[in-house]
């Protein structure tokens, strides 16, 4: 299969010339693919192209989209969650999170996830495979088409561990930046943290992208190693102190601050002693903490922290000189937690 999604203008000009067409036909394909107003993404529906050219491309196996929609869930707050099916009949999720001024796309990088974080539904069935760059990008097209507006921000916080699919991740970021015209500074890559991969991410970013301007977000969720191993089994392979040291090096290499995601779990990591411990762990380098309200799922026993504990935790970090914000959950009424929609569909 020859997927045109993710191809540069030059790539598509070369495709056109290979078929005896003028180079501008390649630019027409490019403009058609990345214009969110064009709902028709099949090759034979690119109406600006001559019919015989479209037929040749289609007959030779060229495509724009490899995914199809299995289910749509629209929450009361406008958050849209899509369950998409791949060509090999696997299911992945993506989410569109709208505000008045922006539309954030939460993208998956793998089918399933090998990390088995205890608070997450995605890892319950393990990893099936990693997604190709075209499958990652296709999620953006579907969200733009369904929500009838341009995606402005990207977060790799959906299904999967992005750093275990690092090459396709960076190829997709290149296209997001150059083809979808979304600045790297509006892209966030979220990772549980894999040994040696934070350094590899920055090095390969400079190789593939020429720079490293996107935000790195570490799913820390704990103030010490013991708690982290309890909720993230893979943490036993990567000490929390080593993660912080690698993040400090990342800041030096890229000039970009690191974000730390901290899911507030009632009675697990939400006490003031944890806030002070986290402050001591993170003080002294350029970082930011995102406190996250927990999206309850049926498969696990964790409960969201109380509003009182959230506010006290946030205030303690702030007093200790740590940049902190509270990220509210979206789509609570429509299975918005990672992996919920996919898993519920399998149960059906």
Per-residue pLDDT for 347 more than 50?
no
198 in Cβ contact with 247 (< 8 Å): yes
- What average pLDDT does the segment 110-117 reach? 93
Q: What is the pLDDT of residues 246-257, one digit of tens each?
A: 999 999 999 999
Distance CA 204, CA 173 (A): 12
Counting residues of the chain whose pLDDT is more than 90, the rounded percentage is: 83
Q: Which residues are catalytic?
A: 93, 338
Tell me what pLDDT residue 113 has: 94
Query: Which ranges in the chain belong to alpha helices (H)?
Result: 9-18, 23-34, 51-59, 133-147, 166-178, 197-208, 225-231, 240-254, 272-282, 307-319, 340-347
Q: What is the pLDDT of residues 64-94, one digit of tens each?
A: 988 999 999 999 999 999 999 999 999 999 9
Distance CA 148, CA 208 (A): 31
- What average pLDDT does the segment 209-226 reach? 97
Domains of the chain in start order, with CATH, are 2-63 (1.10.150.530), 68-347 (3.20.20.70)
């Amino acid at each position: 299969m020859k997927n045109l999604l993710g191809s540069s203008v030059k790539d598509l000009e070369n495709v056109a010339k290979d078929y005896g067409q003028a180079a501008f036909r390649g630019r027409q394909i490019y403009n058609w693919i990345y214009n969110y107003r064009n709902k028709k993404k099949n090759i034979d529906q690119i109406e600006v192209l001559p019919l015989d050219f479209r037929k040749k491309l289609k007959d030779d196996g060229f495509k724009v989209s490899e995914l199809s929609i299995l289910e749509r869930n629209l929450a009361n707050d406008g958050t849209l969650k899509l369950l998409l099916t791949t060509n090999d009949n696997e299911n992945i999720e993506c989410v569109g999170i709208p505000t008045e001024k922006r539309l954030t796309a939460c993208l998956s990088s793998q089918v399933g996830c090998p990390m088995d974080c205890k608070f997450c539904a995605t890892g319950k069935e393990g990893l099936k495979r990693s997604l190709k760059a075209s499958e990652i990008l296709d999620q953006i097209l579907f969200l733009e088409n369904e929500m009838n507006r341009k995606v402005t921000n990207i977060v790799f916080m959906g299904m999967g561990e992005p750093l275990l699919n690092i090459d396709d991740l960076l190829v997709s970021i290149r296209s997001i930046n150059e083809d979808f015209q979304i600045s790297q500074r509006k892209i966030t890559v979220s990772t549980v943290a894999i040994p040696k991969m934070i350094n590899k991410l920055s090095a390969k970013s400079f190789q593939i992208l020429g720079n490293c301007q996107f935000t790195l977000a570490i799913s820390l969720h704990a103030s010490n190693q013991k708690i982290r191993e309890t909720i993230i089994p893979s943490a036993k392979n990567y000490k929390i102190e080593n993660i912080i040291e690698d993040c400090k090096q990342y800041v030096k290499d890229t000039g970009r601050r690191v974000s730390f995601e901290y899911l507030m779990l009632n009675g697990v990591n939400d006490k003031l002693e944890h806030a002070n411990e986290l402050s001591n762990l993170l003080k002294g380098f350029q970082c930011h903490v995102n406190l996250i309200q927990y999206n309850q799922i049926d498969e696990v026993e964790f409960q969201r922290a109380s509003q009182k504990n959230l506010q006290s935790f946030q205030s303690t970090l702030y007093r200790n000189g740590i940049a902190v914000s509270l990220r509210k959950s979206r789509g609570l009424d429509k299975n918005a937690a990672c992996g919920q929609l996919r898993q519920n569909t399998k149960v059906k």
